[in-house]
Structure 1
Amino acid sequence: MKKKQWQGRGPGEHAEQHYLVQPRALAGGGDVRHASEFLRASGWRDKSKKDGPLTMESPDRTVRVAYDPYLLPGGWTIHGRAEGANGAWSAHLGQQTPVEIVAGLTDALTRPQSAHAPNAWGPLKEQNWHTLFEGGHYMATSPDGTAWMHYRQSVDGEAMWWTGAKDTQGYGWAASFTPNTPMHLVQAFSTELASPEPVMRPRGRVPLSPQIRTRSVSVRPSQLGAWQQARITDARAATWARNSNRRTRPRTTARPHTPAVSARTRR
């Protein structure tokens, strides 16, 4: 997938019609660059092949994020390499998963993990999602019933995260996470999934769903470009700060002292 830059217009530009869409879970996929350009600005490498699917690799080569719109069912695939006692993990998100929700997870891949224990259910409860806990099954459903998040565990110990959204006509998406997906990533995803904030879509890119609420807004291309560029600038600043901190961090352990070799003792 060829890299594209954010573009705007100069003087004399005309405002374009966009829509603020709620609930965000039914807003459609959106612009893939919302996620990919943030990763690029955070130091991730673009490993995409010409005219092929988007593939981004973390600086330490432990995680890959791919978006493939060419194969059915298409969508996002995120793989984390096994490290030490932690096994490999993966997440699969359908093509119509709103990119703002995808970015909840992919943005979190670029940040240090918080010292606080993650809680994937916390953001859902804060937004008054309906929760049900039965045995090894944990379920949460949005107040309007369009989105859900489940954790299921079978009697033989197999477990899986399953989430998604669907309207009354069957339009929607689904996503799954392997059980060993880092919990702070699942929490970052659930935070964006449960957010009540609308997302913006251009005219002609709003799904035809009876459960979607929209509000028309006029946006100049330069405004849209500035908002998008601000996100990239934030990613670059955070990356620079982390790298600078690593370079200036004082040594915490003393180098082992090797005594000078004395003259050979005569026998």
Structure 2
Amino acid sequence: MNTHHKKITLLLTIMLTILLSGCMYPGDEKAVRENPYADQVETVQKAVNSYQESNDGLLPIKTKDLETDRYIKYPIEFSKIVPAYTEKIPSNAYESGGIFQYILIDVDENPTVKLVDLRTAERIRELHLRRQINGNLPFKESVGENVYEIDYKKMGFEAPLMIDSPYSNAQLPIIVSGDGNFYVDYSIDLNRILSEQKPEVKPGDDIRFLLEEESLVVPAYSLPYTVNEQNEPVFMANIPGK
């Protein structure tokens, strides 16, 4: 092979490498931003523990108004732990361009780092915005006491909005309570856990802890669930009505 051909071959190789790198990088970057990496959660957990030990029991959380959703009540304030207690903000955190909000649950007994998938929040916001534009909310069939399906066509949607389950391959529906607030319906995943694992739960227990135990991602934007006498997931009573 002469020098001219060698140069052309080298140039083509470089161009192909750049092209392939360009094709792969966006996917790799997307995976980094959208994966709930256990090691990143563990790193933040250690930083939270160290911060609490060094600050007389205080937690590195944002000051936030009281939220009805207990899963978004205590978001972590990374400026309080980075870089003093951990080197950097995780790549999958919202603050780094990721899709997860790092939060704490069980703050009184055992502060535990978990994740909220903010794509769920975006779907909920989308519905609230459409409701404000339309000025009313069409309720469809009841799926529980003061809990209803949504008439998406009357709201101007061509198809129902669904949520990718963080616990399975299921597509989860969104429901609306009688007072007009939107929630994700996790019944499909709860029913799977109840039938497959047969955990010891009883009517009156809030069984969402079954989802907390199964994943790093919490069932945010949900109503409390319990079981009926047939050990099936049902919405808790006393949900705000119309």
TM-score norm. by structure 2 comes to 0.23
Query: More relative contact order in 1 or in 2 (CA 8 Å, sep 6+)?
Result: 1
Greater percentage in strand: 1
